[in-house]
Amino acid sequence: MLLMVRTVFSFSQNQTMNNTTKEIMLQGKETIIAYAFTIIKERMPELEINPEDYEIRVWANKTEALVKFRRLINYYPINKQESRINDFSVNILTQETDIWSVDDFHILTKQDLENIKFVKKHYGLPPTNEFEISIYEHEDHFSINVDNEVAFGRYFIYKITGKQSPSIQSSYIPMPPSTSEEINEDPLKEILDSTTQNEILNIITITVVDKIKQLGRDAIIELAQQELTKKNINIDPNDYRIRVIANSTTIFVSFHIPIKYLPLNSIFYGDIGVNIIEKKLSYSVLSNPRDFKNYDRKNISFYKQTEDAKKHLQFVLNRDDKKSASIDIEKLEFEFFEDDMVVREQLDHYEVNFVSKNWDESYTVDKVSGKKYNIVTGTIAHPPRIEKDKYYEIK
């Protein structure tokens, strides 16, 4: 018989947890599990589930609430070893299970239970909370598979004598840690007996931040531009590298021009940051000379890459192959330039300040010869820190 499983776990973002379900969730693990059994009874009254046969765990996030049943011992009778459902879940929000029908579910018979008891007596099974255990019945013996993330065992017991035949035991080669930076914004979190009501509320509540994240990167950038317009700040988004950074409480849009050129006696507003949640703007002042005085903030414009600026920058960058290899000033392609560079014009030279994540450098470039001198390089030490609410980029 083919196993047919309904896809019931893709909960729509437009759906929300109703008040009744929320009240059940806030009662804690025991009440949630009891409600799962109620759903099973309503959907399949003929199906009997013995809780002692399962490890039952509750998982939830802002769009899902699952009660997961893992059978402690999977038993496959002789000639009936086709796919049957042993483990299953109940979705508290949709009040559905992933069992299509009782016929697909593996119900242990009295003889099955006797055979499991026989195996336990003559072999002795390891802790069911530490291993996945499967028993397969054959004509004259039982085979036992024992697995977890780091080790496995294959054992054989004869039906009549209970005698064990030679076994196989080994360990798995540890997989290297993933290098992927992809972050699950709303991972399922386990609700334990000790999980408090406030902790459950934090797990299942959709906040304003969550709703804005669901809009997607482009819509969030549009919200940031609306905030700029309210402050009479008109910029061309094509002039900037735009990043959307967020954690569980904040969404921040950064408008950044990686390379800037400041002519003599000039002053500009530099990069722009927009806090979407607090509706606040931040931007710094860049000037040449650095101690530019007697300026009126109302008359300062935002930095824009002019054609004249591009010519000066290309001259400087052509003298610095290390940084110019992936930069086309004419097209303003900073795709591979993750750092920050400010070039200040002087009478006979340029002052260059370069800052990356782990090191910085300052140097001088002669206006005529292009010679690079007065080079000072340093490393940037980052103090160790524990980020409980890590920022990530929404792409």
DSSP state string for 334-371 = -TT--SEEEEEE-SSEEEEEEE-SSEEEEEEEETTT--
- The answer to whether residue 226 sits within a structural domain is yes
Q: Which amino acid is located at 100 in the chain?
A: W
156 and 39 assigned to the same domain: yes
Task: Pull the structure tokens for residue 219.
Answer: 């819509």
127 and 218 assigned to the same domain: no
pLDDT confidence of 179, banded at 50, 70, 90? very low
How far is residue 235's CA from residue 201's CA, in Å, rounded to a whole number? 41
Query: H-helix or E-strand containing 286?
Result: strand 280-288
- The answer to whether residue 6 sits within a structural domain is no
CA-based nearest residue to 323, from 381, 382, 365: 365
197 and 323 assigned to the same domain: no
- The answer to whether residue 1 sits within a structural domain is no
Last residue of one domain, picked from the residues 153, 173, 204: 204
Helix axes 19-26, 197-204, angle to 10 degrees: 140
239 and 128 assigned to the same domain: no
Residue 8 has pLDDT above 50, yes or no: no
- Global confidence as pTM: 0.61
The pLDDT tens digits for 302-341 are 998 888 998 898 888 775 444 444 444 444 444 446 678 8
CA-based nearest residue to 159, from 147, 178, 180, 143: 143
51 and 196 assigned to the same domain: yes
CA dihedral 259, 261, 266, 268 (to 10 degrees): -20
- Lowest mean pLDDT across 20-29, 33-42, 246-255, 315-324: 315-324
- The answer to whether residue 2 sits within a structural domain is no
256 and 176 assigned to the same domain: no
Q: What is the pLDDT of residue 169?
A: 80
- The answer to whether residue 266 sits within a structural domain is yes
Count how many Cα atoms sit within 13 Å of the Cα of residue 355 in the half-sphere of its side chain: 8
246 and 284 assigned to the same domain: yes
Tell which wins on pLDDT, 13 or 114.
114
Residue 128 has pLDDT above 80, yes or no: no
List the domain range (segments joined by +) for residue 37.
Answer: 19-204
301 and 322 assigned to the same domain: yes
β-bridge mates for residue 342, sequence order: 260, 353
Mean pLDDT of the region 354-372: 86
- The answer to whether residue 9 sits within a structural domain is no
- Tracing tokens 């509750």 back to the chain, one arrives at 58
- The answer to whether residue 5 sits within a structural domain is no
Contact (Cβ atoms closer than 8 angstroms) between residue 274 and residue 268? no
Q: What is the pLDDT of residue 382?
A: 58
Last residue of one domain, picked from the residues 179, 204, 229: 204
- The answer to whether residue 10 sits within a structural domain is no
Last residue of one domain, picked from the residues 204, 224, 243: 204
Tell which wins on pLDDT, 385 or 302.
302
CA-based nearest residue to 200, from 31, 60, 69, 68: 60
199 and 284 assigned to the same domain: no
How far is residue 104's CA from residue 4's CA, in Å, rounded to a whole number? 8
Fill in the DSSP letter of residue 72: S
Mean pLDDT of the region 239-249: 89
Q: Which amino acid is located at 107 in the chain?
A: I
How far is residue 328's CA from residue 255's CA, in Å, rounded to a whole number? 19
Residue 151 has pLDDT above 70, yes or no: yes
Mean pLDDT score across all residues of the chain: 82
CA-based nearest residue to 246, from 274, 272, 270, 280: 274
55 and 169 assigned to the same domain: yes
105 and 180 assigned to the same domain: yes
- Lowest mean pLDDT across 57-66, 77-86, 128-137, 233-242: 77-86
222 and 191 assigned to the same domain: no
Residue 180 has pLDDT above 80, yes or no: no
Contact (Cβ atoms closer than 8 angstroms) between residue 11 and residue 64? yes
Q: How many domains does the chain have?
A: 2
Q: Which amino acid is located at 157 in the chain?
A: I
Mean pLDDT of the region 243-266: 91
- Lowest mean pLDDT across 116-125, 132-141, 352-361: 352-361
Q: What is the pLDDT of residue 32?
A: 95
